[in-house]
Structure 1
Amino acid sequence: MPKQELPVLTTCCTPIAEAALDPERAADGAVVFKALADPVRLRLMSIIASAGDEVCVCDITPHFDVSGPTISHHLKVLRAAGLVDCERRGTWVYYWPIPERLSWLSTLLSVPVTA
């Protein structure tokens, strides 16, 4: 069977299949994966990323059976990992995903599987 050529992707970083992560980038990536390893934070990230633009914490909190301060803690971890950013507007805080960080994560995980 002839070997199929894969399309050339133009991305911001080299997929791990082409170049292994250096220790600094691996440590940085571990922070991201550690942040996403919690079910509440993974759900938070999913809600924020799927919102399209930004989402108010007042719209996020009702999706969870945990207290507001617990949600705030988990959002702080996602911010520290560079996955989301936020802005306070009066009483409420609005969150949005960091596209470059999600793109980096997507590229890292998009390694072609060979049989």
Structure 2
Amino acid sequence: MDTRKVVATEAALALVETLKAKHGPLMFHQSGGCCDGSAPMCYPQGELLVGDNDVLLGDIGGSPFYISASQYEYWKHTQLIIDVVPGRGGQFSLESAEGVRFLTRSRLFSDEEAAALGEGARVGV
């Protein structure tokens, strides 16, 4: 049972290592829309100020991964799976210069996993 809130594919982890070699320590924030859609955004660590309305989900490749508290409320029953696909992503995200973009996939936690997380069973699923 894997109840981590955020995980990454091998391709995404390889890209994280490439970006760390070029830019140093990284951080991620799950964008909630606007200019770059709903995508995981990658920044040099400390470039984006996180605040009381951000939730630390965990890390990928040793880099912290945040999401806004309001968006977390919608996704708290899911595991975010960070992947990488060809194409240009968010203009503010570091991977855009690599010709690829990070992509968030998700899966619902099972009732057993949700119980282990202390979130109870999902309603209406």
Relative to the length of structure 1, the TM-score reads 0.31
Answer 1 or 2: higher relative contact order, Cα 8 Å, separation at least 6. 1
Relative to the length of structure 2, the TM-score reads 0.30
Richer in strand (by share): 2
Query: Rg bigger for which structure?
Result: 1
